[in-house]
């Protein structure tokens, strides 16, 4: 039975920082700092425990802009573990870790093969004397590669029973990721490879289940709230003549979750903790044996609006919640709670009335309806901020963010102008 078993992962982004965290917590920091390494280590452990034939990594192993020495050294150390057990590794370089950013003084262990940037490369995996699988791949020579690299992939002249293509690139319609090495699914299906081991998109997805199987494994450890949910690698079994079986196995150290909680109708602040846990459990693929890092947004109209807006109280709540995690085997930490609630007042009612408050609300509405006007106002306001260095550290605001700020300003004023009983 001609069969191979391997693990497919990509976008390790070793030793890259976490973004979007609002608070620094000594305990959390300790856990976070090695998270990317730990997830990769878990993958290596998995390779060994599942006794795979080889490991495929489809690019972006580290981020050359970070200039992390540890990333390259530790990567090689872990691969050596596989090499010692006789498990091979095939990997390509992506846009973040193009060939030229790798240290030439690092020696890759035996059984570790890195594809270079020449076209049409493939390496044959053998069991004993028999050639079982051809593994094709190509590495980014430099950071930006916009040509369709997939086009040059074709089966070897005397192909082995199984052919696998390793590619770091963007399939189909461009999305939030930059359009590196773009290609279309339809182009690729024709090429009669058994499996396309892709990389670059951080969200895992099965583009095509079989004939061929085209899979993005996603990065094994999320690094901000945009990369939430389960993160891991794919364990793939291909036996000639059958469809490939690809099983997703989570390996992350910490899961990011962005939760939104409706506070309308909730009048007691003690209920909040329960609501948080409830929201968490309802999040997709909730795993009670995983560590979580939460960003919580409170929405809705609630009488608790003013107490929620009390920074101190919210911080205490978060602190209390997090302190309770320290004894647990699997922790759930709250990074920040964004209070987007509105006071329990009928804004429409106010708006339709007469008076200063109504006028102000109407005025806000005019801005919120006109993005341009809104942007202009913000620009005017920003002119008062002359600290150039600080401004550099902050990324540009999108229209959505601007709208959000307006909404917040509106709420603040409402809060202050309208006294509640």
Partner 1 sequence: MIISEIHIDGFGLFNDFSSKNLKNGINILLGDNEVGKSTLLKFLRFTLFGYPRFKEQRMSPLFGGNHGGRIKAILSTNKVAIFERKGDNQIALSYDGNISYNETLWLQLLGNATQDIYENVFAFSLAELIDMDSLSVSGVADKIFSIGAGLNISIGEVLNDIQGGVDEIYSPRGSKQTIPSVLKVIQEKKSSLKTIQENLPKYQELTTEIQGLVKEISEIEKDLKKARIEKEENENYLKSYESFVSVVRIDEELAKLPEPQDYPKGGPGELNELEKEQKNLQDRIDELQKGSAEDKGIEEIEEDLKLVSFNNEILKEKAKVNYLKNNLEKYKQAVTDKSDTAQKINNLNITINDQLIAINSDWTEQNIVDFSNLLPHQDRVKDFKEKLESIKQKKIELESEKKALLVSGGRINTNNLFILISLVLLLLSIPAFYYSLYIIGIICIAVALLIFFGRKHLIKESHVEEIAKQLLEVDNKGKEIQDNYGNYLEKELNLKRTLSIDSVTEILKAIVLLKKDISERDDLNRKQKETKDPFINSFKDEAISISNLLKNNEPENDIEPLVSQIVEEFDYSQEQSNLKDELEGALSHRKKDLKKSLEQLTKNNQSITELLKSVNAADRDDFRVKYEVNDKARELIEKRRNAINTIETIFGINSADDVIKFLKTHEQASVREEVMNLATKISSKDEELSSKNKELGEKKNQIRQIEGESELAEKMTELEIERQKLTDAYKEWITGKIALKLLTEERGKYEKEKQPVIIKNSSKYFNKITSGKYKRINVSLDKSEITIYDSREASKNIDQLSRGTKEQLLISLRLGFIEEYETKAEPLPVIVDEVLVNFDPTRAKKIAEIFQDFGKNRQIIIFTCHPSMVEYFDKSSINLIEI
d(CA 356, CA 85): 76
Q: Which of 157, 395, 398, 400 binds partner 1 (CB under 8 A)?
A: 395
Q: Select the residue interacting with partner 1 from 8, 38, 74, 96 (CB under 8 A).
A: 74
- Smaller CB separation from partner 1, 287 or 310: 310
Give yes or no for residue 398 binding partner 1 (CB under 8 A): no
Q: Among residues 189 and 360, whose Cβ is nearest to partner 1? A: 360
CA distance 289 to 271: 24
Nearer to partner 1 (CB atom), residue 18 or residue 234: 18
Shortest distance (Å) from residue 305 CB to partner 1: 12
Work out which of 49, 105, 158, 186 binds partner 1, going by CB under 8 A. 105
Please report how close the Cβ of residue 152 comes to partner 1 at its closest, in angstroms. 31
| Residue of 315, 323, 382, 399 interacting with partner 1 (CB under 8 A) | 382
Q: Spell out a b/e string for 341-352, using b for 16 or more CB atoms within 10 Å of the CB, else e.
A: bbbbbebeebee
- Segment 270-329, which members bind partner 1 (CB under 8 A)? 303
Shortest separation between residue 129's beta carbon and partner 1, angstroms: 37
Least distance to partner 1 from the beta carbon of 300, Å?
16
| CB nearer to partner 1: pick between 34 and 237 | 34
Q: Which stretch binds partner 1 (CB under 8 A): 117-125, 174-182, 248-256, 401-409?
A: 401-409
Q: Interacting stretch for partner 1, rule CB under 8 A, among 46-54, 188-196, 197-205, 376-384?
A: 376-384
Among 190, 241, 394, 398, binds partner 1 (CB under 8 A): 394
CB of residue 70 to partner 1, shortest distance in Å: 4
Q: Which of 6, 75, 195, 364 binds partner 1 (CB under 8 A)?
A: 364
CA 362/CA 160 separation, integer angstroms = 71
**Rounded Cα gap, residues 183 and 177, in angstroms:** 14
Instruction: Give first-to-last CA distance, the chain, whole Å.
Output: 78
Check: CB of residue 195 under 8 Å from CB of residue 242. no
Residues 205-233, buried b or exposed e (16+ Cβ, 10 A)?
eebeeeebbbbbbbbbbbbebebbbbbbb
Selected binder of partner 1 within 66, 83, 148, 340 (CB under 8 A) = 66
Binding mask 12-51 for partner 1 (x = CB under 8 A): ---xxxxxxxxxx----x--xxxxx---------------
CA-CA-CA-CA torsion sign (219, 221, 223, 227): positive
Q: Which of 1, 190, 354, 372 binds partner 1 (CB under 8 A)?
A: 354
Residues in binding contact with partner 1, number by CB under 8 A: 69
Applying CB under 8 A, among 269, 350, 368, 375 the residue interacting with partner 1 is: 350
Residues that bind partner 1 (CB under 8 A): 15-24, 29, 32-36, 66-71, 73-74, 103-105, 303, 344, 349-350, 352-357, 359-360, 363-364, 367, 377-378, 380-382, 384-387, 389-390, 393-395, 401, 405-406, 408-410, 412-413, 416-419, 421
């Amino acid at each position: 039975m001609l069969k191979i078993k391997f693990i497919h992962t990509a976008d390790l982004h070793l030793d890259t920082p976490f973004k979007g965290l609002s608070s620094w917590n000594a305990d959390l920091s300790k856990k976070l700092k090695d998270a990317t390494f730990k997830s990769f280590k878990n993958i290596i452990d998995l390779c060994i425990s599942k006794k795979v034939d080889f490991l495929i990594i489809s690019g972006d192993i580290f981020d050359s802009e970070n200039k992390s020495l540890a990333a390259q050294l530790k990567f090689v150390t872990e691969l050596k573990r596989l090499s010692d057990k006789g498990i091979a590794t095939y990997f390509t370089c992506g846009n973040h870790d193009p060939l030229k950013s790798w240290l030439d003084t690092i020696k890759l262990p035996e059984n570790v093969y890195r594809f270079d940037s020449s076209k049409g490369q493939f390496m044959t995996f053998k069991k004993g004397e028999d050639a079982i699988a051809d593994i094709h791949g190509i590495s980014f020579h430099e950071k930006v590669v916009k040509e369709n690299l997939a086009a040059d992939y074709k089966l070897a002249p005397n192909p082995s029973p199984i052919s696998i293509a390793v590619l770091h690139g963007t399939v189909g319609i461009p999305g939030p990721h930059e359009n590196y090495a773009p290609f279309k699914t339809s182009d690729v299906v024709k090429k009669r490879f058994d499996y396309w081991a892709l990389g670059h998109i951080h969200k895992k997805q099965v583009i095509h289940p079989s004939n061929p199987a085209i899979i993005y494994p996603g990065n094994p450890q999320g690094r901000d709230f945009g990369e939430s949910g389960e993160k891991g690698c794919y364990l793939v079994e291909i036996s000639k003549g059958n469809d490939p079986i690809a099983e997703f196995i989570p390996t992350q150290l910490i899961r990011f979750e962005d939760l939104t909680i409706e506070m309308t109708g909730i009048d007691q602040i003690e209920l909040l903790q329960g609501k948080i846990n409830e929201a968490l459990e309802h999040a997709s693929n909730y795993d009670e044996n995983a560590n979580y890092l939460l960003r919580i947004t409170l929405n809705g109209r609630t009488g608790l609006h003013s107490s929620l807006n009390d920074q101190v109280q919210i911080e205490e709540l978060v602190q209390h919640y997090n302190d309770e995690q320290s004894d647990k085997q699997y922790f759930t930490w709250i990074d920040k709670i964004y209070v987007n609630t509105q006071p329990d007042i009928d804004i429409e009612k106010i708006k339709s009335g007469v008076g200063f408050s109504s006028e102000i609300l109407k005025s806000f509405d005019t801005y919120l309806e006109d993005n341009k006007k809104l942007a202009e106002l913000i620009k005017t306001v920003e002119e008062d901020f002359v600290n150039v260095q600080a401004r550099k550290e902050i990324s540009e605001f999108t229209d959505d963010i601007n709208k959000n700020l307006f909404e917040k300003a509106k709420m603040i004023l409402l809060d202050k102008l309208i006294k509640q009983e």
